[in-house]
């Protein structure tokens, strides 16, 4: 069949089991193998930072990736670029968090570490998604680029933070929110230009709210069975859960191998 350009979210899509118990189902691994043999273009498309997602490139045999919620581009195993958040808006967020006593943290570099000015962020969240390192006196004004930020609060307190109106954000954990880029479609289109692909030949696979940005009418959208309701409403195809052969079943239904 005609070559397709396939973009896969990681957590809850390729990977099952949830944080701390993540694994790639055997049927998913076999599907990826057959897709490559069929000559399709495969890329990861994740909200994770490049540093947090890079290990999946080797583990799953990928060479291409849209990372950082659409703001990072990796081609042929080489990181091309990462666009940071709007610096002034992040500074405004931190100022508001300080005023309201909301614990916060920043990601100022492409690494697996985020920084907090004190122990309050970890004490509030006890989060193990990534390492939180304390830098006393941490000030966003001292950093030329700011890739991500984090604010510790329970739902629905995030809607009381005025600065979030000017920043993309999403909640994955009950204890805190991620302030991070969220325009996966933009990253996909940027990569297509690099490799000469057609928008109509794109197929995307996702499961969560941060995948809504890549579920657009210009291409085919596949929602996992475990996907959120908002994503399923926008999907062209709803497959089974990630841990119930979801990727394999979707690829067979679409006749990709």
Instruction: Write down which residue in 179, 204, 221 finishes a domain.
Output: 179
Of 179, 213, 243, the one marking the end of a domain is 179
166 and 115 in a common domain = yes
User: Closest Cα partner for 240 from 43, 232, 185, 19?
Assistant: 232
* Residue 190 and residue 78 in one domain: yes
Q: Exposed (0-12), middle (13-18) or buried (19+): which is 144, by Cβ within 10 Å?
A: exposed
CB 149, CB 168: distance < 8 Å: no
In this structure, the answer to whether residues 129 and 144 fall within a common structural domain is yes
Question: Cα(42)–Cα(40) distance, rounded to whole angstroms?
Answer: 6
pLDDT at 128: 86
Nearest Cα neighbor of 69 from 202, 179, 231 is 179
Length of the chain: 257
Contact 227/238 with Cβ under 8 angstroms?
A: yes
37: number of Cβ within 10 Å: 9
Q: For the chain, how many structural domains are there in total?
A: 2
Model pLDDT, residue 19: 66
The CATH number given to whatever domain includes residue 124 is 3.30.1240.10
Tell me 159's DSSP state: G
Same domain, 171 and 209: no
Q: Tell me phi and psi for residue 128, to 5 degrees.
A: -115, 10
Domain end marker among 124, 147, 179: 179
Residue 96: its pLDDT value, please? 98
Domain of 129 in residue numbering reads as 87-179
pLDDT tens for the chain, 257 residues long, are: 799 999 999 999 999 987 667 899 999 999 999 999 999 999 999 999 999 999 888 888 899 999 999 999 999 999 999 999 999 999 999 999 999 999 999 999 999 999 999 999 999 999 988 999 999 999 999 999 999 999 999 999 999 999 999 999 999 899 999 999 889 999 999 999 999 999 999 999 999 998 999 999 999 999 999 999 999 999 999 999 999 999 999 999 999 99
- In the prediction, which pLDDT does 60 show? 86
- Same domain as 210, residue 170: no
């Amino acid at each position: 069949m005609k070559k397709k350009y396939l973009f896969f979210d990681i957590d809850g899509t390729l990977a099952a089991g949830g944080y701390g118990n993540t694994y790639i189902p055997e049927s998913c691994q076999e599907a990826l193998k057959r897709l490559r043999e069929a000559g399709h273009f495969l890329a990861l498309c994740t909200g994770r930072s490049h540093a947090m997602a890079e290990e999946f490139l080797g583990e799953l045999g990928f060479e291409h990736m849209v990372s950082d919620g659409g703001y990072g581009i990796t081609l042929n195993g080489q990181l091309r670029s990462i666009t940071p958040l709007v610096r002034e808006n992040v500074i405004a967020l931190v100022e508001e968090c300080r005023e309201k006593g909301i614990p916060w943290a920043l990601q100022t570099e492409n690494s697996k570490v985020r920084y907090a000015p004190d122990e309050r962020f970890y004490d509030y969240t006890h989060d193990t998604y990534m390492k939180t390192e304390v830098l006393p006196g941490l000030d966003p004004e001292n950093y030329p680029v700011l890739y991500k930020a984090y604010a510790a609060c329970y739902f629905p307190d995030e809607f009381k933070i005025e600065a979030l109106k000017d920043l993309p954000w999403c909640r994955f954990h009950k204890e805190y929110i991620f302030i991070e880029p969220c325009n996966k479609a933009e990253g996909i289109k940027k990569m297509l230009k690099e490799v000469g692909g057609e928008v109509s030949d794109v197929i995307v696979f996702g499961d969560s709210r941060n995948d809504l940005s890549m579920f657009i009418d210009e291409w085919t959208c596949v929602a996992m069975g475990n996907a959120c309701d908002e994503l399923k409403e926008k999907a062209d195809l709803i497959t089974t859960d990630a841990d119930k052969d979801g990727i394999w079943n979707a690829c067979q239904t679409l006749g990709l191998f």
